[in-house]
Amino acid sequence: MLEAFLSSSIGMATPILLAALGELLVEESGIINVGIEGAMLCGAFFALAVAYFSGSTMLGLGAGMSAGLAINAILALLVINLAVNQVVAGTALDIFAVGVTGVFYRKLFGITGKAFIVKLIPKLQFGRLADIPILGGALFTHNILVYLAFALVPSTGYLLWRTRYGLSLRAAGERPEAADSLGLDVYRLRWQALLVAGLLTGLGGAYLTLAYAGTFVENISAGRGYVALAVVILGRWKPWGLAAASILFGAAMALQFGLQALGTTIPYQIFLALPYALTLVVLAAVGGQAASPSALGEPYRRL
| Cα 55 off chain centre by | 25
The 3-state DSSP class for residue 128 equals helix
List pLDDT tens digits, range 163-217: 999 999 999 999 999 999 999 999 999 999 999 999 999 999 999 999 999 999 8
| Amino acid symbol at 172 | A
pLDDT of residue 16: 97
- Is the pLDDT at 113 greater than 60? The verdict is no
Q: Which residues contact 16 (CB under 8 A, 6 or more apart)?
A: 204, 224, 227, 228, 231, 246, 249, 250
Class of domain 2-116+135-286: mainly alpha
Q: Residue 143 — φ and ψ, nearest 5°?
A: -90, 175
- Residue ranges covered by each domain of the chain: 2-116+135-286
Tell me the H-state helices in 208-261.
224-234, 239-261
Instruction: Please give the span between the terminal C-alpha atoms of the chain, in angstroms, as a whole number.
Output: 60
Q: How far apart are CA 61 and CA 40, in angstroms?
A: 12
54 confidence band (pLDDT: 50, 70, 90): very high
Q: How far apart are CA 199 and CA 40, in angstroms?
A: 10
Q: How far apart are CA 78 and CA 86, in angstroms?
A: 8
The pLDDT > 70 percentage for the chain reads 92
List pLDDT tens digits, range 55-111: 999 999 999 999 999 999 999 999 999 999 999 999 999 999 999 999 999 888 776
List pLDDT tens digits, range 229-288: 989 988 999 999 999 999 988 988 888 776 666 666 666 667 677 777 877 787 777 666
The pLDDT > 90 percentage for the chain reads 68
3 confidence band (pLDDT: 50, 70, 90): confident
The 3-state DSSP class for residue 276 equals helix
pLDDT of residue 98: 96
Average pLDDT over residues 131-152: 92
The 3-state DSSP class for residue 287 equals coil
Q: How far apart are CA 194 and CA 186, in angstroms?
A: 12
* pTM as predicted: 0.94
